[in-house]
Amino acid sequence: MSDGNLKSLEVCFTPALFKTFEVEGKIVVLVDILRATSTICTALHYGVREIIPVGSVKEAKRYKSLGYIVAGERNGKILPFADFGNSPFNFMNDRVAGQSIVYSTTNGTKAIQMAEGCSQLVIGSYLNHRVLTDWLLSQNKDVLVLCSGWKNKFNLEDTLFAGALCKTLLKSHKFKTICDSVLASVDLWQLAQKDILAYIQKAAHRNRLRKLGLDDVLQYCHTFDAAPVVPLYKGNSIFAG
Amino acid sequence: MSDGNLKSLEVCFTPALFKTFEVEGKIVVLVDILRATSTICTALHYGVREIIPVGSVKEAKRYKSLGYIVAGERNGKILPFADFGNSPFNFMNDRVAGQSIVYSTTNGTKAIQMAEGCSQLVIGSYLNHRVLTDWLLSQNKDVLVLCSGWKNKFNLEDTLFAGALCKTLLKSHKFKTICDSVLASVDLWQLAQKDILAYIQKAAHRNRLRKLGLDDVLQYCHTFDAAPVVPLYKGNSIFAG
């Protein structure tokens, strides 16, 4: 394939930088490893019918009053009126299979709403790495990886996954990049990949999770291909594509 | 020194993220390796009396009409009315020694104006690395490194310098960090430091510079301690501190 036919690859480190990127015609891959996108992949893999992401606590509450099952957290703590928080482990049971789940988190669901206007929004995590890269390679479109970060700041755990994904896509020789964030994230991934859990120990969010007693999901959220689905955002919901 | 007495260290990858950081009481280190902060260090080291940074082309023009020497570029090209562009080599001569120079660039001078409200703004580059770190260690204040980036996007060349600076400061055991951007930039610096020029070849801005025929400054701008000054922003000017 000649260079002119290669698709472009970019990484946006936080939603606060998203407006500096052109999105038209591009596939946006949303990443929030700890934990929204890991949880969405898990839920759809375990049979949830659809995930309805909502940005505000108020809106989540409104859905609750309409009878929906609501999952949600702010700053890592479960919303008081929610049925459960955003641990992927909550979605591995019969209660949620076949259901529509309303989902609101600190970082992830806000980013979903920002990405409107792109060609297609897809959910990325280690859990669906292989099916996601296969799907992206089949689409023949430019790709922009949007890391959710932490309160609009850069975070390591999303960046490392962006690096893992970009490395696989670049190896296919179907993509090119002139984006420094791609180069940085691939290099960081190459440093971290031998022992991703040891590397992530030093990430700031790791400390936040430990303080909240939520670090039980860390290993699961860094497991390749444990939830092989391609979650696509269509209408106002996320379905398994 | 106990952990409680350690000063905090943070890195902000682009001006677009600056509002997500608290700045009160902190020293902000502004970084624009290619080329504003390298040029400012050079100019003050070679005897320029002060640098007056201005954000807009209009304001730069107004100063020119008042008789000031004006240096400035946009997107790497010299402003048509300016006396010269922003290559550090322009400032190594007798014409500028003792003068006040008005200076306006694509990224750097805008970032200077954003940082207002911090305790102290200081200019950082490889050219003043050692005197800058010595000065920072003497101040006993929290430090935030502000990378100018490229049009509000992350860039590798500023990030690598942030990593070099943070590595030195953390080695002193006077600083602590919970900022993922610090961790990432230090790791990238450690990857790059053996052959910084080879590493920077892959940076996007490198390609921009080559296209503009401006890559003659690359080696100079990555030379440690060639312009040992501590440029401080006071009033509306930058002086050697």
Is B187 close to A183, i.e. CB distance below 8 A? no
pLDDT at A197: 87
Q: How far is B48 from chain A (nearest CA, A)?
A: 34
Tell me which residue in A20, A155, A159 faces B153 most closely, judged by beta carbons: A20
pLDDT at A111: 72
Q: How far is B13 from chain A (nearest CA, A)?
A: 8
pLDDT at A105: 81
Residues 6+ apart with CB under 8 A from A41: A88, A123, A125, A127, A128, A227, A229, A231
Tell me which residue in B152, B181, B204 faces A20 most closely, judged by beta carbons: B152
| Interior angle at CA B195, CA B192 and CA B197, nearest 5 | 95
pLDDT at A112: 75
What's the pLDDT tens digit per position in B158-180?
999 999 999 999 999 999 998 99
Q: pLDDT confidence of A151, banded at 50, 70, 90?
A: confident
* Residue B207 touches partner A, C-beta closer than 8 Å: yes
Asked whether residue B30 carries a pLDDT value surpassing 70, the answer given is yes
For residue A138, count other CB atoms closer than 10 A to its CB: 9
Tokens standing for B70? 């004006």
Pairing of strands B175-176, A50-53: unpaired
Residues of B in contact with A207 (CB under 8 A): 178
pLDDT at A203: 75
Q: Give the whole-angstrom CA distance, residue A117 versus residue A131.
A: 24
Q: pLDDT confidence of B122, banded at 50, 70, 90?
A: very high
Say what the pTM is. 0.93
N residues, chain A? 241
Tokens standing for A41? 């992949």
Q: Of the given ranges (A144-148, A149-153, B57-61, B182-186), which has the lowest mean pLDDT?
A: A149-153
Asked whether residue A70 carries a pLDDT value surpassing 90, the answer given is yes
pLDDT at B208: 65
Tell me which residue in B159, B187, B205 faces A191 most closely, judged by beta carbons: B187
Q: Give the whole-angstrom CA distance, residue A211 versus residue B13.
A: 27
Asked whether residue B135 carries a pLDDT value surpassing 90, the answer given is yes
Is B207 close to A178, i.e. CB distance below 8 A? yes
pLDDT at B109: 67
Is B153 close to A17, i.e. CB distance below 8 A? yes
* Residue A211 touches partner B, C-beta closer than 8 Å: no
Q: How far is A161 from chain B (nearest CA, A)?
A: 14
Most confident region among A92-101, A196-205, B210-219 by mean pLDDT: A92-101
Residue of A nearest to B178 (CA): A204
* Residue B193 touches partner A, C-beta closer than 8 Å: no
Q: Which of residues 114-173 of B touch A (CB under 8 A)?
A: 150-156, 159
Tell me which residue in A151, A156, A178 faces B184 most closely, judged by beta carbons: A156
pLDDT at B213: 58
Q: pLDDT confidence of A164, banded at 50, 70, 90?
A: very high
The residues pairing with A71 across neighbouring beta strands, listed in sequence order, are A84, A103
Tell me which residue in B17, B179, B183 faces A17 most closely, judged by beta carbons: B17
pLDDT at B16: 93
Asked whether residue A27 carries a pLDDT value surpassing 90, the answer given is yes
Taking one residue from A and the other from B, the number of pairs with CB-CB distance under 8 angstroms is 77
Residues of A in contact with B203 (CB under 8 A): 180, 183
* Residue A110 touches partner B, C-beta closer than 8 Å: no
Q: Are the C-beta atoms of residues A184 and B159 closer than 8 Å to each other?
A: yes
Q: How far is A17 from chain B (nearest CA, A)?
A: 7
pLDDT at A236: 86
Averaged over A165-187, what is the pLDDT? 96
Q: Of the given ranges (A5-14, A163-172, A207-216), which has the lowest mean pLDDT?
A: A207-216
Is A184 close to B159, i.e. CB distance below 8 A? yes
Q: Give the whole-angstrom CA distance, residue B86 versus residue A117.
A: 38
Q: How far is A178 from chain B (nearest CA, A)?
A: 5
On average, the pLDDT of chain B sits at 90
Q: Give the whole-angstrom CA distance, residue B52 versus residue B64.
A: 12
Residues of A in contact with B155 (CB under 8 A): 180
On average, the pLDDT of chain A sits at 90
Q: Which of residues 8-67 of A touch B (CB under 8 A)?
A: 13-14, 16-17, 19-20
What's the pLDDT tens digit per position in B38-87?
999 999 999 999 999 988 899 999 999 999 999 988 877 899 999 988 88
SS (H, E, C) B23-75: CCCCEEEEECCCCHHHHHHHHHHCCCCEEEECCCHHHHHHHHHCCCEEEEEEC
Q: Of the given ranges (A143-157, A191-205, B6-20, B59-73), which has the lowest mean pLDDT?
A: A191-205
* Residue A188 touches partner B, C-beta closer than 8 Å: yes
